[in-house]
Structure 1
Amino acid sequence: MSWQSVPQYPQYQDPNQQYNYGGGNPPQGGYGGYPPQGGYPPQGPPQGYPPYAQGGAQPYPQPYGQGPPPGGYAPQPGFIQPPPSAGGYGAYDDPESQPKNFSFDDQSIRRGFIRKVYLILMGQLIVTFGAVALFVYHEGTKTFARNNMWLFWVALGVMLVTMLSMACCESVRRQTPTNFIFLGLFTAAQSFLMGVSATKYAPKEVLMAVGITAAVCLALTIFALQTKYDFTMMGGILIACMVVFLIFGIVAIFVKGKIITLVYASIGALLFSVYLIYDTQLMMGGEHKYSISPEEYIFAALNLYLDIINIFMYILTIIGASRD
């Protein structure tokens, strides 16, 4: 409603004056002839609104559709204006003032994945070296294994089937509890094979091989965590070296000798030591070019387990060949 449409009240009209309701300075005593107290409109603007415009502008309120009164909008009482910033939107465009995201980020997921892998690996190593100690120090177990050689071939078949299933079938190594069942069968079969193989050596030699393997694996793991060299880019080179090593192993089967056994075992220990660094950095992720998915904790534990077992077997072979 505009000022022109306000009805006139005779008791407040002054016949000696002409009032301009569309602008200009209002006469003394009120706006448009209205008294300063009482009457219509009420004295002063409503609470929370800006004061009336001065200097001949239209009095408050403005006609509908013409926007706010001159001087801009004044905030309501109690409203706190955000401090200005370079972005122009106050404190709300400051990244530091945004709410923090408390969801798990990649680093926390990776740390949980590493803990799970090493827990699984520790369980596998305890079972394996426990079986080795049982076969080496208990004569009854050693005699039973020698009198039932068919168990060796059964364990070898179970080990190959479970290892190939976990390596080739993604559903087997990712679905729980199937992955733990296959990993448990593989660990049991591999532990039996390791125990039978360790019966050819003296207990002192087995203990020496266990100590050397533990020291080597610890040193290589620390090196893999601290080094700036990215071994994850060496996958193709390691595969080529493994093919050559397998061919050399086939030749060593037919060519007997202490020297070729020492050379073969030394190359094997060195190759799987590099593989241990490679698999450790794949598991760690971070700044390395390639990394393994956190869902592949069974596969990561299997890789590290095979690396450590092979290092142990080749070190034990070196100690045995040196003795012979």
Structure 2
Amino acid sequence: MSYQQPGYNPQYGNPYGNQGAPPPGWAPPPGQNQGFMPPPPMPRPEPHYAEQGEARTGVFDPKYSFHFSDRSIRNAFVRKVFMLVTVMLLVVAVMTAIPFMNPETKNFVRTSMGMYWTGYGVFFVTYLVLVCCESVRRSFPANLILTAIFTLATGYMTMITVFYVITAHHKVDTVLLALVICTVCCATVIIFASQTKYDLTDCMGIMFILSMCLLVFGIVAIVARVAFHVSWMYTVYALFASILFMMYLAIDVQLLMGGRKFELSPEDHIFAAVQIFIDIVYIFWMILSLLGSSK
């Protein structure tokens, strides 16, 4: 029996061929008092998610291929988002307290109801830009500027909402009660979403159906309250809207934490912060509207 050694390979290539290697040229494919009500819930544009298990599905997108393999990077991303959300909520809280410390601001709020709808227009436009335009929300400093404008518009709308509720009932207990309920509910939802093994990110189709049903019911409730002075329908709407946004908060927290079927890209800290922030604000608005309409 003779042994034949492979010939000399001057380029240090593989003499046995590229077994299992991709073919040459292969590249991955590109990737409220009577008559005053908070605005209806915003539409929630479908975000770009980084889906796990690309080797299982055969789909590879280099833009979303990073799945928090390093725990320290995941923790840093989560801390960054929650710090940003905390700053945004503090700005809203400070703006809400201004009319009760400055009489001139109180008079301006009382006589300038049209500014509320101007603020809502700014709120609506900046929200859509931040969640729909990926290139904008990932570009510094444009993303921070738009986030600041969005936060100020939200704070102005919250300030007017709280002012009219307190003016209607002449007590601060309604707002404080709504704040306590909102804080307890949001903290409970965040803890549950981060600890449970149930994957809530796989329920986006159900959430879309529930959102559309609630939107139609909300339009009917607002028309019934304004045109026919039937307030109980809006009370029911506020109750279900607050529950729906608690469910959205749980889903957004799991998208932020990662480790589920869908997770947010680590570059989308602005998107994650805006979504969690608006979930909390809408929960507060709906609870405040629910308590205000019951008095």
| 1:272 aligned residue | 245
Paired residues, number? 219
**Which residue, 135, 139, 155 being the options, matches 1:191?**
155
| 1:322 aligned residue | 294
Shift of the alpha carbon at 1:315?
A: 0.6
CA 1:148–1:262: 2 relative to 1, 3 Å: closer
**Which residue, 134, 142, 145 being the options, matches 1:181?**
145
User: What is the TM-score when the length of structure 2 is the normalising length?
Assistant: 0.71
How far apart in 1 are the matches of 2:147 and 2:208?
A: 24
Q: 1:293-320, CA deviations, whole angstroms, 9 ceiling, x for partnerless residues?
A: 0100000000000100010011101111
| 1:301 aligned residue | 273
Shift of the alpha carbon at 1:220?
A: 0.7
Q: Contact between 1:135 and 1:198, CA under 8 Å: does it hold in 2?
A: no
| 1:22 aligned residue | none
Q: Contact between 2:218 and 2:234, CA under 8 Å: does it hold in 1?
A: no
Q: Contact between 1:142 and 1:196, CA under 8 Å: does it hold in 2?
A: no
| 2:40 aligned residue | none
How far apart in 2 are the matches of 1:116 and 1:302?
A: 12
Question: Once superposed, what is the RMSD of the aligned Cα atoms?
Answer: 1.4
| 1:26 aligned residue | none
Q: Could you tell me which amino acid in structure 2 is paired with residue 173 of structure 1?
A: R
1:241 to 2:205 alignment = no
Q: Could you tell me which amino acid in structure 1 is paired with residue 239 of structure 2?
A: S
How far apart in 2 are the matches of 1:219 and 1:159?
A: 27
1:223 to 2:192 alignment = yes
SS at match of 2:262: coil
Q: Contact between 1:136 and 1:198, CA under 8 Å: does it hold in 2?
A: no
SS at match of 1:255: helix
How far apart in 1 are the matches of 2:102 and 2:290?
A: 24
Q: 1:8-66, CA deviations, whole angstroms, 9 ceiling, x for partnerless residues?
A: xxxxxxxxxxxxxxxxxxxxxxxxxxxxxxxxxxxxxxxxxxxxxxxxxxxxxxxxxxx
Q: Could you tell me which amino acid in structure 1 is paired with residue 269 of structure 2?
A: Y
Shift of the alpha carbon at 1:138?
A: 4.3
Q: Could you tell me which amino acid in structure 1 is paired with residue 275 of structure 2?
A: N
| 2:284 aligned residue | 312
How far apart in 2 are the matches of 1:220 and 1:169?
A: 28
| 2:179 aligned residue | 210
How far apart in 1 are the matches of 2:75 and 2:191?
A: 16
Q: 1:252-298, CA deviations, whole angstroms, 9 ceiling, x for partnerless residues?
A: 12212232122101100100000000000000002x11100010000
How far apart in 1 are the matches of 2:104 and 2:176?
A: 20
How far apart in 2 are the matches of 1:275 and 1:105?
A: 26
Larger Rg: 1
| Unaligned segments of structure 2, at least 5 residues | 1-67, 167-171
How far apart in 2 are the matches of 1:220 and 1:297?
A: 20
How far apart in 2 are the matches of 1:148 and 1:271?
A: 31
How far apart in 1 are the matches of 2:234 and 2:99?
A: 24
Shift of the alpha carbon at 1:140?
A: 3.0
SS at match of 1:272: helix
Q: 1:133-169, CA deviations, whole angstroms, 9 ceiling, x for partnerless residues?
A: 2235544322111223342232222111111111111
Identity of aligned residues (%): 40
Write out aligned runs for 1:1-324 (5 A). Answer: 105-136=69-100, 138-202=102-166, 203-256=172-225, 257-286=230-259, 288-323=260-295
How far apart in 2 are the matches of 1:247 and 1:267?
A: 13
| Unaligned segments of structure 1, at least 5 residues | 1-103
Q: Could you tell me which amino acid in structure 2 is paired with residue 148 of structure 1?
A: S
